[in-house]
Amino acid sequence: MTDLKKLHQAILDGNAKASAEETAHALVAGVDPMTIIEGTMIPAMDEVGRLFECQDYFVPELLLSGRAMKAAMQLLRPLLAKSGAQPVGRVVIGTVKGDLHDIGKNLVASMLEGGGFDVTDLGTDVSPDRFVAAIGEKNADIVCLSALLTVTMPAMKTTIEALERAGVRNKVRVLIGGAPVTLQYAREIGADGYGENANAAVALARELGKGTLRP
């Protein structure tokens, strides 16, 4: 069990190398993969989440812990039955047409990944057509649109209209965010949710994942 305490610590420290090593040790010692995941890794990530919520951890620490978790999972995944490995949800994310700002979008994307979502990041300056195509390809549940400029906000509306025309609007929840965006605007253009910041966006995606929320 000492080894698993070390794995726990490696995830808390965001140390991907140690995390993989400790996982390998545990496997060699014959620990059941599901025990490693459920007994150690998930509690460790829960702890990381708590530390982030109470503002003891910053985003870098959150993301590094996510990386450490991933490194361990790469060893475990081949050993697991396929059924247990469902992501929380499938997200397609991008900054809308005409807008190049991606730091906020990237932050949301990495935090969603850390939160167990399967994330497809389309990058910046993404046309409505590319959003439509990606939703089909990835069988997405959630689409996140980001804009930092007042003059690219209208592209959010255009994108939602394109989803409607393509007949995929009902299959996905649309979540929007970015500095000039407001809840008011989200309602106006018929989005399903608005995240005031990256934290709120991830929390909202979780809620949407559960299918409970419409603004």
Partner 1 sequence: MSLAIGSLSEFLFGHAPRPVSCGRGLELGKGTVIPEINFTLPAMDIDEATWPEVRRLYAEMIEGVCKRAAELEAPGLLVEFETLPAMTIRPEWGREIVEILATCLHGYYEKHGLKNALRVTPNDTRDFLSPSHMRDGQYWEAMAQLFEMSAAAGADLLSIESTGGKEVCDEALRFGDLRQTIFGLAILGARDMEFLWKHLVGVCSKANIVPAGDSACAFGNTAMVLADQKFIPRVLAAVIRVASVPRSLVAYRMGAAGPSKDCAYEGPYLKAIAGVPISMEGRSSACAHLTHVGNIAQAVCDAWSNESVQQVRLLSAYAPIVSLEQLVYDCRLMNTAAAGSREDAIRLRDWLVESDAALDPQAWVLRPDVVLRIAERIATEPTPYLQTRVAARCAIEEIASAHREGRLRVSPQEIRWIAKIEREVAQLPGQESEFIDEMLATPVAEKFLPGEYGIESVASR
Residues that bind partner 1 (CB under 8 A): 55-61, 63-64, 98-100, 102-103, 106-107, 110, 123-125, 149-151, 153-155, 179-180, 182, 184-185, 197-198
What's the closest the beta carbon of residue 58 comes to partner 1, in angstroms?
Answer: 5
Min CB(198)–partner 1 separation in Å: 7
| Cα separation, 27 vs 35, whole angstroms | 10
**In terms of CB distance, is 43 or 180 closer to partner 1?**
180
Q: In the complex with partner 1, which residue's Cβ is closer, 33 or 114?
A: 114
As measured in angstroms, the least distance from the Cβ of 36 to partner 1 is: 25
Closest to partner 1 by CB, 168 vs 179, is: 179
Helix (H) or strand (E) holding 52: helix 42-53
Give per-residue burial for 78-104: e unless 16+ CB within 10 Å, then b.
Answer: eeeeeeeeeebbbbbbbbbbbbebbeb
Q: Which residue has the tokens 């190398």?
A: 17
Residue 49 CB, nearest approach to partner 1 (Å): 15
Please state, in angstroms and rounded to a whole number, the distance separating the CA atoms of residues 120 and 140.
Answer: 9
Nearer to partner 1 by Cβ, of 80 and 103: the residue is 103
Nearer to partner 1, 31 or 148 (CB): 148
Residue 23 CB, shortest distance to partner 1, in Å, is: 22
Q: For residues 145 and 100, what is the distance between their CA atoms, to the nearest angstrom?
A: 12
Q: What is the 3-state secondary structure (H, E, C) of 60-83?
A: HHHHHHHHHHHHHHHHHHHHCCHH
